[in-house]
Amino acid sequence: MRPHRPDQEGGLVTTTSQPVVSVEDLTVVFGGSRAIGSASRGTVVRALEDISIDLREDETLALVGESGSGKTTLGRAVVGLQPPTRGSVRLRGQPLAGLLRRDFARTRRRLQIVFQDPTGSLTPWLTVGDAICEPLLVHRLVDDRADARRWVVELLELVGLRPEHADRRPRELSGGQRQRVTIARALAVAPDVLVCDEITSGLDASIRARVINLLTDLRRQLHLTYVFITHDLHVARVVADRIAVLQEGRMVEYGPAAQVFDQPQHPYTQSLLAAQPTLAGACTQRHRPVGDIRSTEGVRE
């Protein structure tokens, strides 16, 4: 049993002839006359300005830039958590705002996000099994709890954990294991798009590599579309097919990963690359598979 992605659901036809998600002239402004908690009620912050990107099926788009560049705001807008001030987000050609109004639950299923801190995403008193069961039951993807339990075991194995992890609570897991649980929970509803918001930044180097390889294998197996938000250019080059470089809410460079890294055009991109002089040597093994993802976790991370 594995996450199922129907060809047609709620009027959304799965096809490779159009982008999975299209972002058009997206602007997000915070503050103004209704600003709360700011030094001045008139303060306006342009978190994003005139961003246009396409997300294609079975590819990874990395959003890179320094803190405050707008990466996370853009990721939240893609999954419908941040409404735009201007512009639009479309899911398979249909306006996301309208889809969320007509059928919020079904649309949200197709767009999932995994955050940097897995501890904050998991309820401390719920077992891992219950945490993964929850979206299955909420979205009525299983007939009963016994059916849900079978899905939980399959999902845990899919992300490299063992069935017995289902009976543990978050505090009994390592950081890497908790992050795998949040990935399994997001995959439970068979999304089209998975936004990964700095999900490896809190992990040490060896565990980070395992999680990155896991995500690469999952994309290949499930034909997922990723938005990978990171400030780490080493990680971006390893995982991404395309790169969008953001600076203070504006997209200053956008293109194939090899082109952006090997022939950066914008001074800001050039400065980011210059700040990581070992980048080229660290990324020679791009998308290197690690074998069956079920065998990656024995496990202690």
pLDDT tens per residue, range 156-200: 999 999 999 999 999 999 989 999 999 999 999 999 999 999 998
pLDDT tens per residue, range 126-159: 999 999 998 888 888 888 888 888 999 999 999 9
Q: What is the DSSP string of 5-19?
A: --SEETTEE--TTS-
Contact in structure between 5 and 192 (CB atoms under 8 Å): yes
82-91, 116-125, 167-176: segment of lowest average pLDDT: 116-125
Q: What is the chain's mean pLDDT, rounded?
A: 84
Look at residue 285 in the predicted model and tell me its pLDDT. 45
**pLDDT range class, residue 32, cuts 50, 70, 90:** low
Starting at the earlier edge strand, list the strands of the sheet with 193-197: 111-114, 193-197, 225-230, 60-64, 242-247, 250-256
* More confident: 168 or 41: 168
Domain ranges of the chain: 8-295
Cα–Cα distance for residue pair 214/180, rounded to 1 Å: 9
- Total residues belonging to the chain: 301
Class of domain 8-295: alpha beta
